Each structure stands twice: as C-alpha cells, then as structure tokens.
Chain A
Amino acid sequence: MINTVYELITDVMAKQYPDRVAFRYVAADGKTVVEKTYAQYVQDIRRAVTYFKENIPDIKGKRVGIMSRNCYEYGVNSFGAILAGAVVVTINQKKTWPELEYELGLAEPSLIVNDGIDYGCRPDIEAAYGDKLRPMDAFKDSAPAELVDCVGHDDLMVLMFTSGTTGRSKAVMLSEHNFFTTVECQVKFGDAMLDYKHEHMPEDKDDVLSNFAILPLFHLGTFICLFVWACKGWALNLSADIRDFYRDLGLMHSDAIAVAPMLMEAIYKDVKRGRRARLNGVWNPCGSSAMFDGAMLAELAQQGMMITQVYGMTETCGDGIINYEQDEKHIRAVGKPDDHAEYKLDETGEICIRGGCVMLGYYKDPEATAEVLDADGWFHTGDLARVDEDGFYYITGRKKNIIILDNGENVSPEELENLLSKCEAVKECIVREKGKKICAVIYCGEADQQTVRDFITETNRTLPLYKRMSAVEFSTEPLPRTGTGKLLRK
C-alpha cells in the first residue's frame, strides 16, 4: 500500500500510470476538453518544487496558501509545495475579507498562489498581500527538480479551515499519516465501485474510472481525491464553477461525482423529470453530509445509481464511515464502522473516533484542540448518532452549534448574529436552521419589522449565496433563554 506523497508521485504516477489521464477540464472557450496525463502532471509537480524552493528561503515548514477555484494547477501546486517541504494551506477564495484577513493572518503564508479572480474583495487582498501573490501557473518556467522524500510522516503537511463555533474559523492540522490512513480506506471503496460496475454494466469494459470534481478543492472531501484517484491511476474531471455543472458534465463523461445535498437533489430531479441524458452517464453520486432523504436515495438506487455516503470531517481527514449498501433499509445510514479506526458512542450519543485519521490539532489553538481531542486520543465529532440492530450508524443531530447547509458548507450562527446586531432596531436575535434555510429569529418592535427585513436583505447582498438568511421570524417578546441566561437555540 502506498503510504507517502513521495511514493504516490514517483512510483504510482510516474511509473505505473504515466500515460493515463490524470485531469480533464474544459478550456476557456467553453467547448474544448483539455487532458493532462500523469507524466505531464509529475513533470509540472517537479517544476513547482523548484519554484517554491527558489522563491521561499528556508522553506521547511513555511506555509504556501492556495486560493483558487478548481483547476489542474491546484494539484500541481499542492504536491509541489509539499515535496518542497512546505505546508499547504487551502483557502476558500469566496470568503469575505474579514474572514480571509483572519485566516491569512493566522496561517502567515510565505506565498499565496491564486487564480487572480475578484470574488468580491480582491482589492483588500492585493493591498495586504500583494507582494506574496503568485499566479497558479507560476511554476511553468522552472526546471523540474529531482524529487526527494522530505515529508515527516507525522508532521504538519496541510492546513484546512473549518467553521468554529465562536464565529471564527479554525485551522485543522493534518499530516501525511492522516491522509494516507484515509486514502487506504477510500481506495478500497474504489474497488467496490468496480464490483458494482461489473455487475450492473457488464457491457462497459473500461475499468479506468473518472470522478467529476465540482465541489471545491479547498475542502477536504475534494482535496483527498487528488490522492485517492491518483492511487488508482484514475482521472479527475475538474469543474471550476457550479454554474458550469451541466456544460462540463456534458463534455466530460464521469463515473462518480461527489455531491452536496443540493447536487444530489438536482440529480434526482433530472432523473425524475426525464432529463437524465444531461448527466452524461454519471452513476455514482457520493454524498457526505449524512442528512439525505432515504426515499430519494432508494429511488435513485432503483434507477441504476450506486449511492454512496461518506461520513467524515476535516478533523478526521475526511475519514470516518463509508456506506455503499444499496438496500432501502440501510441506504440512508452513514455506514458500519470497520476496523481501520476505532469508533464509539459516548454517554451522550456523540460519535467518537480514534485512529490514524485524527488530526494533529487546531493550529495555534490548544484550547479548542483540548475541547475535541481527549487525553486518550478520542476525537469527539460533535455529531450525535444511533446504531441499528445491524450495526449501521445514522446521524441524528449535532451537539455543536453549527449550521450545516444544503450545499455542504458549514456556517456559524454567531457570525451572522454579529452582523444582525449591527441593526439598531434588533433587540435580540438568534440564527438557526429551519427546513433547509438559514432563519433569523428577531426580537424587535412591531413597527421596526420592515426596517429589519430591509437590513437583512442588504446584509445578504454582502454575503456569499450559501450564507444568506433566507427566512425571518419576528417575535414581539424577548427570546427564550436557558437557565444560565443564554439565548435558547432550539
């Protein structure tokens, strides 16, 4: 089993599968599909190693930020920075400036490779980090380096941000050991995909599969595919913008697709409404948010789709439990633990995981780390579950005060509450999930309700689509509080 980034690149990519396609993407003309082989990819990774070494003095352990939509160079820069000895920091390019300012300030990157697009706060980024910004293809004129294995297996290799419960994001520290623990588990899943394909599509003899990667690479769930699909010599079909979902999928046949609930529902609607052709043969939607409608999943399974659910989080390097049972009874489960990690439900019903996948901790935040990682090495996920008589786990709720949205993004209610509290008419507010929406519950004078509504509409204009408060409830009385005086959230 491949166990290091160095082996993955020098043995698997360079020697086993050099002529296979590693990436496909649609060119700027919106029509042409570009392919990159593993041989080309390795060569570019070697150039990136040289580039980072030459441009970051004393590079070992320094941080390289990657702030870009999905593209081929994302993979090149990630592995290039790692094999140059740096720590990769993936950054959500669509965040607002206060969030980016905080995250970049915490990570202190030596360089930030980025796609140069203005997502709303480009002037702020340039003002603060202009001298550190480099284009995604900055490596292209560097000479390919000889690769050496410089990665400490249990050292910090990748930093990824996750929503914190206090409104500030936390940076999860992940090691090579973490990544390859998850990779081993997911490579086995790749074999299960082939088994399904042989059984259900025997006429199709092509066992080199491809994965449509439209969820962003700054998320662990997509980032890990850079490792897993490469282990198989399979291809990632990259899509940079959710707007281009149907166009790109139509141009690049894909077997698998990682989906957030909103994409699973879009696929379901297409199947129901006789528009399956535009999905171009995709047959393995893989979801990872655990809250799907079981009947919808069962119907998709009946329609010849292999339904997969992965339960994991950034703190467990995407690892956790995986479910590809297709029977109606278990299809909604997040799966049944195997022995590659230890699992338990504590006395409150919270899932706890221990094993090689569990993060090193939160970057520069020992207090937050101590809250979730106990002395015995158990990681407390914050997710509540039940186990059925067959040993399958089902997520029943969350202990942590985080809203997980339909598109898979996590939102901290406090962050939105802080914005709402800037409106003078708002006396008290909480933000919570209602149905599939973010709902603001406001206590204000009856005459002020329209003012507050207008304030919310204007606030929404400053927020990314996924963070918008799309429902409002008014109360003419103070909001209920707990015994200790905190606003009651449920």
Chain B
Amino acid sequence: MERTEIVSQILAILEDVAEISPDDVNENSVLMDDLDLSSMEILTVVADLEETFGLRIPEKELRNFVTVSDLADYLAAHAGE
C-alpha cells in the first residue's frame, strides 16, 4: 500500500475516534501533544488500524508511536506481511 494511502487511513480513523479534522493533522503531529489524544484514544486508533490492515502490533512497539509518522512508518513496513 502506498504511504499516502496509509496516512489517509490514519487520518480517517483519527477523525472517527477523536473527531479531529484531517485538515488539522500532518505527519509530524504528535499524538498526545498536538492532537491532544488520551492514551485510550491512541489505543483505540491502534486497534482500528490493526483491524483495517489485518495485523497485530507487538506490545513493545506501542511505545514507539509518538507521531502520526511513526504509525505510518510501522504500517508501511509491516502491512501485508
């Protein structure tokens, strides 16, 4: 999957989970700071991404997700494995 497509999936899920307009998000947005997501919301986003991309992200990877770009990098590397 193209990276731009992955990012747009992330934006769609962010909009659904946390009602954040895609216009307010870019790849460098920090999930907890810029987007003001709670840890619950981040994990709900992760769960929705896992379902969308058909994968399960290992526990220890979770703490690496600080920005939108971190999520996109992981999914680009692992989706469709």
Contacts and interface: CB of A to CB of B under 8 A. Distances in A.
Interface string A406-422: 11000000000000000
Given A265-B38, A266-B40, A462 B46 contact: no
A117 B42 CA distance: 21
Contact of A464 (B33, B47, B63): B63
Interface string B40-68: 11111011001000000011101110100
Given A120-B60, A120-B63, A464-B63, A242 B43 contact: yes
Contact of B39 (A120, A244, A247, A407): A407
A243 B47 contact: yes
B47 A244 contact: yes
A461 to B, nearest CB: 6
Contacts, number: 65
Interface range, A side: 20 to 34
Contacts of B39: 242, 262, 406-407, 465-466
Given A118-B60, A407-B39, A468-B32, A460 B47 contact: no
B59 A118 contact: yes
A122 B58 CA distance: 13
B47 A247 contact: yes
B63 A461 contact: yes
Given A244-B47, A470-B32, A470-B33, A263 B40 contact: yes
Contacts of A246: 44, 47
A460 B66 contact: yes
Contact of A406 (B38, B50, B58): B38
Interface in B10-48: 30, 32-33, 38-44, 46-47
Contacts of A464: 63
Nearest to A243: B47
A378 interface: no
B66 A461 contact: yes
B58 A471 contact: no
Contacts of B41: 266
Nearest to B70: A461
A245 B59 contact: no
Contact of B64 (A122, A242, A244, A461): A461
Interface in A239-285: 242-247, 262-263, 265-266
Given A265-B38, A457-B30, A245 B44 contact: yes
Given A243-B47, A461-B66, A471 B33 contact: yes
Interface string A202-232: 0000000000000000000000000000000
B40 A407 contact: yes
A275 to B, nearest CB: 10
A463 interface: yes
A462 B47 contact: no
Contacts of A263: 40
B42 A465 contact: yes
B28 to A, nearest CB: 11
B40 A242 contact: yes
Interface in A441-484: 457, 460-466, 468, 470-471
Interface in A296-352: none
Interface of A: 94, 117-120, 122, 242-247, 262-263, 265-266, 406-407, 436-437, 457, 460-466, 468, 470-471
Given A94-B59, A407-B39, 18 more contacts: A118-B58, A120-B60, A243-B46, A245-B40, A245-B43, A263-B40, A265-B38, A406-B39, A407-B40, A436-B38, A461-B64, A461-B66, A465-B32, A465-B42, A465-B63, A468-B32, A470-B30, A471-B33
Q: Which 6 residue pairs are nearest across A and B when measured between Cβ atoms?
A: A470-B32, A262-B40, A465-B39, A243-B47, A120-B60, A470-B33
